[in-house]
Amino acid sequence: MFKGILIEKDDAGYRAGVQDIDESQLPDGDVTVRVSHSTLNYKDGLAITGKGPVVRKFPMVPGIDLAGIVEDSAHPDYKRGDAVLLNGWGVGEGHWGGLAQKARLQGKWLVPMPASFTPQQAMSIGTAGYTAMLCVLALERHGVKPSDGEIVVTGAAGGVGSVAIAILAKLGYTVVAVSGRHEEANYLKGLGATDVLERAQFASPGKPLGKERWAGAVDVVGSHTLANICATTKYRGVVTACGLAGGMDLPASVAPFILRGVTLVGIDSVMCPTPDRLEAWRRLGADLDIAKLGTISQEIGLSEVVPYAVKLMNGEVKGRIVVDVNR
């Protein structure tokens, strides 16, 4: 038996809580992992609270991230005792995830734990930080340099935004944070933002084109915010889009793309190919100031996950939430 968060949906309703789970209930997979740490992400919050149609079958253990030690393996790349991590691949949605003390998974989904991080540090980064790194890599791949001008980061006080600011600042970019939480301005500047702008000025319908300002962007919001960011991006600037906290719609015009040559790059972290994952984690080891992880993250126990999911959905949590599944 092991403990985990279990989401159930039946005639009695939709509910999530800590339960004792028998190992025989674990889904099929060729690697069994003794989990030490997981995380609480926005997607996990949607799943646990039922505020979004994230879970595709029930019962479900949520948790799109995990770090732990291989307990049993039939996969050629992993053996008992190996330290591993996982981000995405639909775990916590269609396959039991990381918010439990054990997980059975496909070995092809795993990544060896980078030597530069402890499991706790790796989960302080988690899917949010790995996604932020994918955004930075996309900006670099499309030729955006620190000398080109300001990079705007929306949803800045969240997990993706926090890590993106820290990475970009260390790489020498001038970073402007956009947040609806003015009280977090000092936190964001501590991560490396040179300025903090109010979310409200981006959240309403705007003009097809605005004054050029941004050389690049990391957007986790979508909807009007993404449209306004595109409309104010410089000639041949690059906007990376990786989230939908403000909505799935994109009420924009083609003007920024055909008149200014703006590039809009979609960032998918869930099904991202393994070579790209390995490169993202390698770069995180090189380009993220580990000392800032203590500022970015907080740790909770498994019993605190459900109430924290509610706080996350209410916008009451900043940075990253690491879950020690053994407390």
- Domain spanning 2-113+292-324: CATH superfamily: Medium-chain alcohol dehydrogenases, catalytic domain (3.90.180.10)
Q: pLDDT tens, 178-223? A: 999 889 999 999 999 999 999 999 999 999 999 999 999 999 999 9
User: Residue 218: which of 257, 275, 179 has the closest Cα?
Assistant: 179
DSSP one-letter code for 60: B
DSSP string, 145-196: -GGG-EEEESSTTSHHHHHHHHHHHHTT-EEEEEES-GGGHHHHHHHTEEEE
Query: Which CATH code, of 3.40.50.2000, 3.40.50.720, 3.30.360.10, 3.90.1150.170, is assigned to 127-266?
Result: 3.40.50.720
Q: List, for residues 18-62, the tens digit of each pLDDT value.
A: 999 999 999 999 999 999 999 999 999 999 999 989 999 999 999
Q: Greater confidence, 159 or 241?
A: 241
**Under 8 Å between Cβ of 269 and 87:** yes
Q: What is the pLDDT of residue 315?
A: 87
Predicted TM-score of the model (pTM): 0.92
Domain boundaries, the chain: 2-113+292-324, 127-266
Residue 318 has pLDDT above 90, yes or no: no
